[in-house]
Amino acid sequence: MTKKINKDLTAEQKLVLFEDGTEAPGTSELNHEKREGSYHCANCGEKLFDSNAKYESGSGWPSFYQSLPDAFETKTDTLLGYERVEYHCKKCGGHHGHIFEDGPKPTGKRYCNNGVCLTFKPKN
Protein backbone atom coordinates (compact mmCIF):
# COMPACT_ATOMS: atom_id res chain seq x y z
CA MET A 1 0.00 0.00 0.00
CA THR A 2 1.32 3.43 -0.91
CA LYS A 3 0.74 6.09 1.75
CA LYS A 4 1.26 8.87 -0.78
CA ILE A 5 -1.02 11.84 -0.12
CA ASN A 6 -2.36 13.62 -3.21
CA LYS A 7 -1.17 17.25 -3.11
CA ASP A 8 -4.50 18.41 -4.60
CA LEU A 9 -6.60 17.26 -1.62
CA THR A 10 -8.39 19.90 0.44
CA ALA A 11 -7.62 20.30 4.14
CA GLU A 12 -10.91 18.55 4.98
CA GLN A 13 -10.11 15.63 2.68
CA LYS A 14 -6.68 15.20 4.30
CA LEU A 15 -8.26 15.36 7.77
CA VAL A 16 -10.80 12.63 6.99
CA LEU A 17 -8.63 10.39 4.83
CA PHE A 18 -5.45 10.44 6.92
CA GLU A 19 -6.13 11.99 10.36
CA ASP A 20 -9.25 10.14 11.64
CA GLY A 21 -11.60 13.03 10.88
CA THR A 22 -15.27 12.79 9.86
CA GLU A 23 -17.26 15.17 7.71
CA ALA A 24 -20.50 16.58 9.13
CA PRO A 25 -23.56 14.48 8.21
CA GLY A 26 -25.77 15.81 5.44
CA THR A 27 -23.05 18.01 3.91
CA SER A 28 -21.95 15.87 0.95
CA GLU A 29 -23.35 16.64 -2.48
CA LEU A 30 -22.88 12.94 -3.22
CA ASN A 31 -25.85 12.19 -0.95
CA HIS A 32 -28.04 13.44 -3.80
CA GLU A 33 -26.10 11.86 -6.69
CA LYS A 34 -28.46 9.55 -8.62
CA ARG A 35 -26.68 9.13 -11.96
CA GLU A 36 -25.22 5.86 -13.14
CA GLY A 37 -21.46 5.69 -12.73
CA SER A 38 -18.74 4.83 -10.25
CA TYR A 39 -17.22 6.20 -7.04
CA HIS A 40 -13.46 6.50 -6.67
CA CYS A 41 -11.00 7.28 -3.88
CA ALA A 42 -10.42 11.05 -3.81
CA ASN A 43 -6.76 10.48 -2.92
CA CYS A 44 -5.57 7.87 -5.43
CA GLY A 45 -8.43 7.48 -7.92
CA GLU A 46 -9.01 3.78 -7.26
CA LYS A 47 -12.53 2.62 -8.21
CA LEU A 48 -14.33 1.58 -5.01
CA PHE A 49 -18.09 1.40 -5.62
CA ASP A 50 -20.55 1.12 -8.49
CA SER A 51 -23.57 3.43 -8.38
CA ASN A 52 -25.98 0.48 -8.42
CA ALA A 53 -24.84 -0.39 -4.86
CA LYS A 54 -25.64 3.12 -3.50
CA TYR A 55 -28.80 3.63 -1.47
CA GLU A 56 -30.37 6.21 0.83
CA SER A 57 -29.65 5.06 4.39
CA GLY A 58 -30.88 8.19 6.17
CA SER A 59 -27.49 8.43 7.93
CA GLY A 60 -26.42 11.70 6.29
CA TRP A 61 -23.46 10.10 4.48
CA PRO A 62 -23.30 8.38 1.09
CA SER A 63 -24.06 4.70 1.73
CA PHE A 64 -23.45 1.55 -0.26
CA TYR A 65 -24.44 -2.07 0.38
CA GLN A 66 -21.30 -3.46 -1.26
CA SER A 67 -17.91 -2.36 -2.48
CA LEU A 68 -15.94 -3.64 -5.42
CA PRO A 69 -13.93 -6.80 -4.63
CA ASP A 70 -10.64 -6.16 -2.83
CA ALA A 71 -11.18 -2.38 -2.75
CA PHE A 72 -10.72 -2.04 1.01
CA GLU A 73 -8.84 -3.27 4.04
CA THR A 74 -10.58 -3.17 7.43
CA LYS A 75 -9.58 -2.72 11.05
CA THR A 76 -11.36 -2.42 14.37
CA ASP A 77 -11.90 1.16 15.53
CA THR A 78 -12.55 1.84 19.25
CA LEU A 79 -12.21 5.65 19.11
CA LEU A 80 -15.80 6.16 20.39
CA GLY A 81 -15.47 3.61 23.20
CA TYR A 82 -17.02 0.69 21.34
CA GLU A 83 -15.94 -1.49 18.43
CA ARG A 84 -16.70 -0.47 14.85
CA VAL A 85 -15.31 -1.83 11.58
CA GLU A 86 -13.36 0.90 9.81
CA TYR A 87 -12.44 0.59 6.13
CA HIS A 88 -9.51 2.02 4.17
CA CYS A 89 -8.64 2.16 0.47
CA LYS A 90 -6.44 -0.85 -0.19
CA LYS A 91 -4.33 1.09 -2.68
CA CYS A 92 -3.46 4.22 -0.65
CA GLY A 93 -4.62 3.55 2.92
CA GLY A 94 -7.07 6.47 3.00
CA HIS A 95 -9.85 6.13 5.59
CA HIS A 96 -13.33 6.18 4.02
CA GLY A 97 -15.77 5.25 6.76
CA HIS A 98 -17.29 2.38 8.72
CA ILE A 99 -19.21 -0.78 7.85
CA PHE A 100 -22.42 -1.45 9.75
CA GLU A 101 -24.64 -4.54 9.74
CA ASP A 102 -27.91 -2.62 9.13
CA GLY A 103 -27.87 -2.38 5.33
CA PRO A 104 -30.32 -3.72 2.76
CA LYS A 105 -30.34 -7.07 1.02
CA PRO A 106 -28.51 -8.79 -0.52
CA THR A 107 -25.53 -8.09 1.79
CA GLY A 108 -27.06 -6.55 4.92
CA LYS A 109 -24.04 -4.21 5.01
CA ARG A 110 -23.91 -0.42 5.07
CA TYR A 111 -20.66 1.12 3.92
CA CYS A 112 -21.10 4.55 5.48
CA ASN A 113 -18.66 6.67 3.46
CA ASN A 114 -17.45 10.21 4.04
CA GLY A 115 -18.40 12.01 0.83
CA VAL A 116 -15.22 14.12 0.78
CA CYS A 117 -13.25 10.88 0.35
CA LEU A 118 -15.00 10.06 -2.93
CA THR A 119 -15.16 11.39 -6.45
CA PHE A 120 -18.01 10.41 -8.75
CA LYS A 121 -17.44 9.56 -12.40
CA PRO A 122 -20.63 9.34 -14.50
CA LYS A 123 -21.00 6.46 -16.93
CA ASN A 124 -20.23 7.51 -20.49
* One-letter amino acid for residue 121 of the chain: K
41, 44, 89, 112: the catalytic one is 112
61 vs 58: CA distance, rounded Å: 8
112 is catalytic: yes
Q: Which residues of 42-68 are buried (b: 16+ CB within 10 A; e: fewer)?
A: bbbebebbbbebbeebebebbbbbebe
Question: For residues 63 and 53, is the Cβ–Cβ distance under 8 A?
Answer: no
SS3 29: helix
Active site residues: 112
